[in-house]
Amino acid sequence: MVAAVRAAEAGVHVGIVDCNANLGGQIWRGEAKHEWTRAAGWISRLRTAGATILCALTVFHQPETGILLAETNDSVHVLSYTKLVLATGARERFLPFPGWTLPNVTGVGGLQALVKSGLPIRGKRVVIAGTGPLLLAVAAYLREHGAEIPIICEQASWSSLARFGVTLFGQPAKIAQGLRLTGQLARVKFAPNSWPVAVHGKAAVEAVMISRQGRTETIPCDYLACGFHLVPNIELPLLLGCEIQRGCVQVDDFQRTTVREVLCAGEPTGIGGIELSLAEGQIAGLVASGQMTAAKELFGQRNRARHFARTLDRAFRLRSELRRLPSPDTIVCRCEDIRYSRLSQHTSWRSAKLHTRCGMGPCQGRVCGPASEFLFKWNPDSVRPPIFPVRVESLVALSSEPELECSEVSGGHK
Amino acid sequence: MLSEIVVTVNGVPVTVPSGATVTTAILLAGKACRISVSGEPRGPLCGMGTCFECRVAINGKPHCLSCQTLCQQGMEVRTDE
């Protein structure tokens, strides 16, 4: 979004495509309706600058350079561009354990997104588990909205966390955030060295069994919000031929990918949080619209934010015990109900996919891929179009659909 | 601008606040979104349109992501049952 603003304000014809119903991505979901927020400020600038805003629109293919195909629930569209900024964000990594497929087991960011989308949480008991600062941020949010949080289970150890704590002093925004959070979380149990081992319940979650300092405890609850890091959404960059290394889109200092006319900003270039995404996004929009001097002015901000992100990574590394959580009949691929015992017979993602259909369901490996990567140390390979399921009627209708022309398209997309 | 919207989930009316997603309506109706290949009830996991567990038929169109779709007055939602 910020990329679109910086380009549109320079007079460039800009279109922004977001697969969500509203702009703002995950972190700013629901923020823009409050006019004092940064999100509202940026959206106001976007509208004033006259960018074309296309929401609830999902890009699924690029049949030739400069042409994107996208679908809504009811229609299909052809978009053409001369420059493309990809800001496809990230999703959570889910790890399987017995009972994780029960209704009311959600991601951490996932539960926050659901509550922001209208799910009532007041008076509900929510166990939060997984890893990273997201656990605290979401716990605070849920508390603000009346949820009871019996415990926050962080899989990292105290010593890892202490190292992370020391570096917070380099990041003023994070300290402020930390202090605000502490007030809301004063009476919530925060337990490092702990993780979920099983979920109990018939039709939905009734209790979670956790491992805490080597002992197990069972905690009755209504929801388990559980996520283990964020994973960049690189499917569209990969489809376009951008170079990817260690799961991240490779970009130069100007946020340019290895594909001509395609830039990338935010989480897909490396998980780094909102401040890094804001810096990278603006740089990308400025570069795409030829404002190189203004872009360079943001390099310092970006580089400081990037340093913080690397520290985060080291502090919250996933521990090996998490690989032993699934039992033989725990489902790993939720789309095709493929269980751990079937997958563990294979030695590569490709082999598992071809023999079991793991990764071939509607999510196209977005859930089971990162899980398998961690469990088995596999490398999920290339993508093929369409990168999301698409209706046959859309494919048939394509030749007669009108084309929307923009000289720059900013993609906020998964 | 309505502050509340009424949709139907499997024929039963559900009232949601304006701006709520179809997933909210389904969860308020006490329904699972879908039944998996081996018969398990499933609800939303990721909340952001990547896991596809929340997919339902909306106004006759199957496989719509309910977490990505805002409720509109009179919308007809069908889950697996």
Distance in angstroms (rounded) separating the CA atoms of residues B49 and B21: 12
Map residue A309 onto helix, strand or coil: helix
CA distances from A120 to A54, A179, A287, B6 (A): 29, 27, 43, 17
Model-level ipTM above the cut of 0.95: yes
* Closest CB from A21, A112, A366 relative to B69: A21
How far is it, in rounded angstroms, from Cα A197 to Cα A104?
Answer: 16
Closest-CA residue in chain B for A117?
B20
Q: What is the pTM of this model?
A: 0.92
Beta-carbon neighbour count of residue A129 at 10 Å? Answer: 24
Whether the Cβ atoms of residue A20 and residue B49 lie closer than 8 Å to each other: yes
User: In chain A, which residues fall in CATH 3.50.50.60?
Assistant: 2-90+231-299+402-412, 105-228
Q: What is the pLDDT of residue A394?
A: 87
Listed residue (B55, B50, B41) closest to A331, CA to CA: B41
Site of tokens 């998490």: A322
Distance (Å, rounded) from C-alpha A333 to C-alpha A335? 6
Query: Residues A225-244, buried b or exposed e (16+ Cβ, 10 A)?
Result: bbbbbbbbbbbbbbbbebeb
CA A83 – CA A94 distance, rounded (Å): 34
Q: Which CATH number fits domain B4-78: 3.90.75.20, 2.60.420.10, 3.40.190.10, 3.10.20.30?
A: 3.10.20.30
Do A380 and A55 contact (CB within 8 A), yes or no? no
Confidence band, pLDDT 50/70/90 cuts, at residue A334: very high
- Widest CA span in chain B: 43
Question: Is A372's pLDDT higher than 70?
Answer: yes
Smallest Cβ–Cβ distance between B24 and the set A106, A117, A366 belongs to A117
Residue A331 with chain B: CB contacts under 8 Å: 38, 40
Mean pLDDT of A315-340: 96
Q: Distance from first CA to last CA of chain A, Å, rounded? A: 14
**pLDDT, mean of residues A401-412:** 55
The domains of chain B are located at 4-78
Is residue A38 a contact partner of residue A49, using CB atoms and an 8 Å limit?
no
Residue in chain A closest to B44 (alpha carbons) equals A106
What fold is seen in the domain A2-90+231-299+402-412? FAD/NAD(P)-binding domain (3.50.50)
Q: Tell me the residue type at A107.
A: G
Cβ(A114)–Cβ(A138) under 8 Å? Answer: no
Closest residue in chain A to residue B69, using alpha carbons only: A21
Give residue A167's pLDDT.
58
CA closest to A232 among chain B residues: B50
What pLDDT does B75 receive?
A: 98
Whether A332 and A372 have beta carbons less than 8 Å apart is answered as yes
What is A105-228's CATH superfamily?
A: FAD/NAD(P)-binding domain (3.50.50.60)
More confident residue, A221 or A385: A221
CB A113 within 8 A of CB B47: yes
The structure tokens listed for A121 are: 């949480």
User: B68 to chain A: which residues are within 8 Å by CB?
Assistant: 19-21, 56
DSSP A153-215: EE-S-HHHHHHHHHHGGG-HHHHHHHHHHHHHTTTS-EESSEEEEEEE-SSS--EEEEEETTE
Q: Encode pLDDT of B51-78 as tens digits.
A: 999 999 999 999 999 999 999 999 999 9
Calpha distance A53→A29 (Å, rounded) = 16
Which residues, other chains included, contact A1 with Cβ-Cβ below 8 Å and sequence gap of 6+? Answer: A16, A18, A23, A24, A25, A42, A43, A46, A87, A281, A410, A412
Residue range A202-260, pLDDT digits in tens: 999 999 999 998 899 999 999 999 999 999 999 999 999 999 999 999 999 999 999 99
List CB contacts of A159: < 8 A, sequence separation 6 or more: none
* Cβ pair B17:A335 closer than 8 A: no
What is the predicted pLDDT for the residue at A96? Answer: 98
Average pLDDT, whole number, for chain A?
A: 91
Residue A73 and residue B61: Cα distance in Å, rounded? 8
**What is the nearest CA distance from B29 to chain A, expressed in angstroms?**
11
Q: Are the C-beta atoms of residues A81 and A68 closer than 8 Å to each other?
A: yes
Whole-number Å distance between alpha carbons of A256 and A260: 8
From the candidates A19, A33, A117, which should be mutated to test the interface with B, based on the most B CB atoms within 10 A?
A: A117
- The mean per-residue pLDDT over the stretch A275-285 comes to 97
